[in-house]
Amino acid sequence: MVVQRLRLLDAGGRRVTAGLASLLLVLLSALPAPAQTPSTGSERVLRAAEFTEPLPFGANLFEGQPPATTGAIDPNYLLSVGDDVAVYIIGAVSIQTVTAVDTQGNIFIPEVGPVPVLGVSAGSLNSTVENSVREVFRDNVEVYTTVLGTQQIAVFVTGFVARPGRFEGGSLDSIIDYLVRAGGIDPDRGSYRDIVVERGGTPIARADLYDFLLDGDLPTVQFRAGDTIIVGPQRPTISVSGDARNTFRFEIPDGGMIGSQLVELARPLPGVTDAYVSGIRGARPYVVYFSLDEFASQSLHDQDEVVFQADQPVNAFTLYTDGAVMGPSVLVATPGVRLHTVLDYIAVDPAVAEVGSVYLFRRSVARQQAQSLNEALDRLQRSLLSAASAGGEAQAEAVAQEADLVQQFIERARTVEPDGRVVVARQDGSIADIRMEDGDIIVIPEATDLILVSGEVAVPQALLFEPGMDAEDYVYAAGGYTDRADEGSFVIRRLNGQTFTGGGIPELQPGDEVIVLPEVPLAYLALASDIAQIIGQMAVTAAAIVAVF
């Protein structure tokens, strides 16, 4: 995966501080480089230099060729069956022999006999053999011994490694030596912090390679034939980029990880003042700026991306993209950024995306729409009460019969949540360069050849666009009107979010949605008119239809 490395540059390519910038655009998702270059002039923009996704911390341990197994013998090495030992006895007698440790754990010395050495350390071998020799030759002898070579053994390496299998090596080879022979730990699936050595099914050692990388600590194991090294599954990870010495992917230890622990591992460069954390919280995108001090106490989650930067943005806010973009993304901007600048940093496939039908979801607009809807429902509630108390007995009786229906309609309508859709496409096909707000969702629809038919139709569905067919043709193609439909009353919603009602319905285009409105079956026309207006309002602001019965 390709991610973005953050750098704030001016028109000449020079680094500038966030305080001088009128725009900071931070791409924290997997996006290719911008298709166009945003205008710079007096404006400062963030350019993104690509770099590959960080490797796991410690991945370079497994570079190079597997180590040879020959060399000096460690004094702590314990002799095992098959090891070759050279024995020299000089003085009253002269004996030179090379012998192997037999299956009984002995070496055989002429004129002396078997000497038990199984499990004796290489450093203690000489004194052990000398004691046995002096039981036979008490005076005038000197004894010298050395371990010539250790037996090659086979160790199994399994779990999440590149090439699981059986590998030959030496008893004194390290855990890392055997992992190298197995091609190293799988960078996408294996854990560098959960490695177990088993003998006969029983764990005899555990290794966390972070301890070795940071402090040089690695369990010392004298391997035996048949031992098994097991690499566990990768733990939750955090990726680090930006101004840090260690830009790697780090595994979260048992008990979790907070920012201060990541700082110790990543080692930000001097001058770093803040960290940008992006990830997922509660199934929603999450992007937050922290000063380095604030970051120290923050809990980190699996798949978080942390970018260390020396420049702290001022009043930054979050933008989101949705629809036919090249992977879901989260962007961060400072006040003053406009839509055209943001669009320059959103990668799309022009064969899939309907780039001329961009629209926004805006929280402030959704709040205004919700307020307007609730005010309309409040007016309807007051009209219902005043209608019941005004007029003659016949009107009061008619209103009373319909009051329950109207009240139920009001209650259902209050649950509708407007989506805050903002139409930015002009009639001439251009896109308005509006100022962005915190939380805006930029939607680039996917191109389609279908017409959606919904609302009060027998079988709501998507139908193939056919030139020349009008809204009513599509309604009948979807099974016709329901009994509750207000026949001929439509809302047409375009891919770009534009809506048309009443007599202003244009010729249909691919991607349009035909929404059939319900009839308002009320005898009291004043209430019926208010309800019809509210139904149309909900269809436009939330694409929701609430029937009266």
| CA angle, residues 216, 218, 223, in degrees to nearest 5 | 145
Unique residue bearing structure tokens 């590998």: 167
Location of each CATH 3.10.560.10 domain in the chain: 59-68+152-233, 365-542
Q: Name residue 144's beta-bridge partners.
A: 88
Taking a C-beta distance cutoff of 8 angstroms, is the pair 8, 27 a contact? no
What per-residue confidence (pLDDT) applies to 524? 58
Q: Are 501 and 541 in contact (CB under 8 A)?
A: no
The Cα–Cα gap between 250 and 261 comes to 11
pLDDT at position 546 is 65
Per-residue pLDDT of the chain (549 residues; tens, 9 = 90+): 233 322 322 323 333 333 222 333 444 333 333 333 333 333 333 333 333 578 999 998 988 777 666 556 778 888 888 888 999 998 888 889 999 999 999 999 998 999 999 989 888 999 999 999 988 888 888 999 988 877 788 999 999 999 999 999 888 889 999 999 999 999 999 999 999 999 999 999 999 999 999 999 999 898 988 999 999 999 999 999 989 999 999 999 988 999 999 999 999 999 898 888 888 887 766 777 788 999 999 999 999 999 898 765 566 777 888 888 875 467 778 888 999 999 888 888 888 999 889 999 999 999 999 999 999 888 888 887 776 665 556 666 666 777 778 888 888 888 888 889 999 998 888 899 999 998 898 999 999 999 999 999 999 999 999 999 999 999 999 999 999 888 888 889 999 988 888 767 789 999 999 999 888 876 656 677 788 888 888 888 876 666 665
Task: Note whether 89 and 237 are within 8 A (CB).
Answer: no
Q: What is the dihedral of CA 29, 34, 39, 42, to 10 degrees?
A: 40
Residue partners of 92: CB distance under 8 A and separation at least 6: 137, 139, 140, 141
Between CA 374 and CA 111 the distance in angstroms is 109
Strand 274-281 relative to strand 284-291, pairing:
antiparallel
pLDDT of residue 193: 96
Q: How far is residue 50's CA from residue 420's CA, in Å, rounded to a whole number?
A: 34
When the candidates are 2.40.10.10, 1.10.10.10, 3.10.560.10, 3.40.50.1860, the CATH number that belongs to 365-542 is 3.10.560.10
pTM of the model: 0.54
Whether 230 contacts 159, CB under 8 Å? yes
State the angle between helix axes of 525-542 and 393-413 in degrees (0 to 180), rounded to the nearest 10. Answer: 10
Residue that is written with structure tokens 């501080």 in the block: 17
pLDDT of the residue at 70 = 56
523 C-beta neighbours (distance < 10 Å), count: 11
Please report the pLDDT score of residue 35 as a whole number: 35
Token code pair at residue 372 = 């307007």
CATH dotted code for 84-149: 3.30.1950
3-state DSSP call for residue 350?
Answer: coil
Q: Which residues pair with 425 in a beta bridge?
A: 431
Nearest C-alpha neighbor of 27 from the set 242, 188, 248 = 242
Strand partners, 305: 239, 278
Q: Give the strand pairing for 317-323 and 441-444.
A: parallel
Phi first, then psi, for residue 152 (nearest 5°) are -70, 135
**Rounded alpha-carbon distances, angstroms, from residue 393 to 333, 400, 497:** 63, 10, 46
Residues 6+ apart with CB under 8 A from 255: none
For domain 59-68+152-233, say whether CATH 3.10.560.10 is its number: yes
Task: Indicate where the chain has its CATH 3.30.1950 domain(s).
Answer: 84-149
Q: List the one residue out of 148, 146, 149, 165 whose CA is nearest residue 157.
A: 165
Q: What pLDDT sits at residue 413? A: 87
- Record the tokens describing residue 3, joined without a space: 């991610």
Helix (H, G, I), strand (E, B) or coil at 128: helix
Instruction: Kindly state the helix (H) or strand (E) to which residue 500 belongs, with its residue range.
Output: strand 499-501
∠ Cα 305 309 312 (to 5°): 115
